Amino acid sequence: MPRLSYLEAGKLALAEEMRRDPLVWAVGEDLGRGGVFGQYRGLAEEFGPARISDAPISESCIMGAAVGAAMMGTRPVVEMRFSDFALCAVDELVNQAAKARYMFGGQSHVPLVVREPIGIWRSSAAQHSQSLEAWYAHIPGLVVVVPSTPADNRALLKAAIRCDDPVVYMEHKNLWALEGEVPEAAEPGELGKARVVRAGGDVTIVSWSAAVHTCAAAAESLAGAGIEAEVLDLRTLWPWDREAVLASVERSGRLLVVQEAVSVAGFGAEIAASVAEALHGALKAPVRRLGAPRIPISYAPPLEDKVRVTEAMVVEAVRSMTAAAA
């Protein structure tokens, strides 16, 4: 299989879908020059300005125009540059796109993909570093996708573009350069299907996006001490693979949920509550969560590091859970 970066895999997926379907197009700021991270580089030359469309600096205008275009039968891919900036377009996404199918009795749908780069990325500070996936998972009508690997960034972006509901597609900025094997087959992925990153029977670790790699590294460290952790990458937060998580925790009896986002009211709480309600009698230890404290992300690297969930933190949490059960 060829090796591609996370960024290249996403660009490939968009190009493939645009070649396949003339109704797919992209709109956002700076797309003509390749996008702020280079994730659209070369696409304007192939598809022209009508399909790789540069927009003024107005997120609400961009989103509103794309919602209307989607309701008229096209499939827009909206680039918001940063998830933080997408907050300027929440009304158009949450009050219009997410509700259209329901409010029109199924007579209209909004096949829209909103790309929102998320996460802590080299001193980007409080207005460029947030992980706001839980906001969108809370909204009926929205699909939420959080790929962690190059292969998934290709497959899941293709699936998102083909989806008939609005999709919030959240790519972690710290993963752009991550390289990995990407299957040559150009098939879309399956929304709502978790991936087993590493099998194990002592504890289940559930995560998504960039935090998956932290959890995988921690699981390798724990294996050296005789603790076998199963790591699940959710891939999508709505729909989320409840059955896979419950099946894993039923085997292990322990659950640790790890997220980069602020822990308070994060999506990890939904997973923790669901498992506690369904399997309370089968748990060998209380469910644990790891996430950021409820503070803004700082510009200064030492302060930025204080809000990161690290491999050492995951290892310590698992050790405490297994020791308590023993």
Please tell me the distance from the alpha carbon of residue 254 to that of residue 126, in angstroms, as a whole number: 34
Please tell me the distance from the alpha carbon of residue 96 to that of residue 65, in angstroms, as a whole number: 12
CA angle 53, 55, 59 (to 5 degrees): 125
Please tell me the distance from the alpha carbon of residue 203 to that of residue 253, in angstroms, as a whole number: 7
Q: Which H or E run includes 313?
A: helix 311-325
Please tell me the distance from the alpha carbon of residue 59 to that of residue 28, in angstroms, as a whole number: 8
Please tell me the distance from the alpha carbon of residue 312 to that of residue 11, in angstroms, as a whole number: 34
Q: Is 128 a catalytic residue?
A: yes
**b/e for 50-71, b at 16 or more Cβ within 10 A?**
ebbbebeeebeebbbbbbebbb
User: Which of 19, 83, 65 shows the shortest CA–CA distance to 46?
Assistant: 19
Contacts of residue 309, Cβ cutoff 8 Å, sequence gap at least 6: 211, 214, 258, 259, 260, 290, 291, 292
Q: Decide: 174 and 131 in contact? Cβ < 8 Å.
A: no
Q: Which of 109, 128, 172, 213 is catalytic?
A: 128
Active site residues: 128
